[in-house]
Amino acid sequence: MTPKTLHELIANLTTFAESKKLTNEIAPIIEELNEERENSVVMLDRSIAMIQLLKDNDIAITKHLNYAKKLREEIVKDFIDDAYILLRDRIENPAGEFDDAGRFYAEYSELMDVRSPSRNWPFPQMIAGRSKKFIKKLVEKYEVKSYKELTVYAFA
């Protein structure tokens, strides 16, 4: 039976570890999980580590590993989608600054495949900074693990 929530997944894995007499190896990971419940991505990373330790003892654990990895991907995708909507709707602005001529220079322009701003075209980096593609690159480069962390990089 596949767990429906992250807490259910952890409970199932803890029970499984106890049944295989692996509690000493798993206990430190479970302790970290309980301390970091606020941060879903970190929690899922720890769950994946725990599942991988258990994987050698039972083939059925593979479905739990795949579920945890998929859940992590979905949460990170939600971070990206939420940040994109705020940028797209101009509730937030990309991180960067304007020069005296009104050209916008993005803070993380090395992640963009656009021309440099000019007097005739002052906003190519502003437009690119509002794209989902750019936000994905930020998440990958800085290995973002929470929405709050993403906002530090993505927003002005």
pLDDT digits (tens, 9 = 90+) for 24-51: 777 777 667 656 555 667 777 777 777 7
Task: State which residues form the domain around 45.
Answer: 6-74
Place 2 in a pLDDT band, splitting at 50, 70 and 90: low
Q: How far apart are CA 145 and CA 43, in angstroms?
A: 10
Q: List beta partners, residue 104.
A: 98
Give the Cβ contact number of residue 147 at 10 Å. 18
Number of domains in the chain: 2
Q: Residue 130 has what pLDDT?
A: 95
Residue 19, φ and ψ in degrees, nearest 5: -70, -30
Q: Residue 72 has what pLDDT?
A: 84
Q: How many residues would you count in the chain?
A: 156
- Could you tell me the pTM of the whole model? 0.65
Instruction: Assess whether 52 and 113 both reside in one domain.
Output: no
- Domain end among 35, 53, 74: 74
- Domain end among 54, 74, 94: 74
pLDDT tens figures, 86-116:
999 999 999 999 999 999 999 999 999 999 9
Instruction: Assess whether 55 and 90 both reside in one domain.
Output: no
Instruction: Assess whether 66 and 93 both reside in one domain.
Output: no
Instruction: Assess whether 101 and 52 both reside in one domain.
Output: no
Instruction: Assess whether 32 and 47 both reside in one domain.
Output: yes
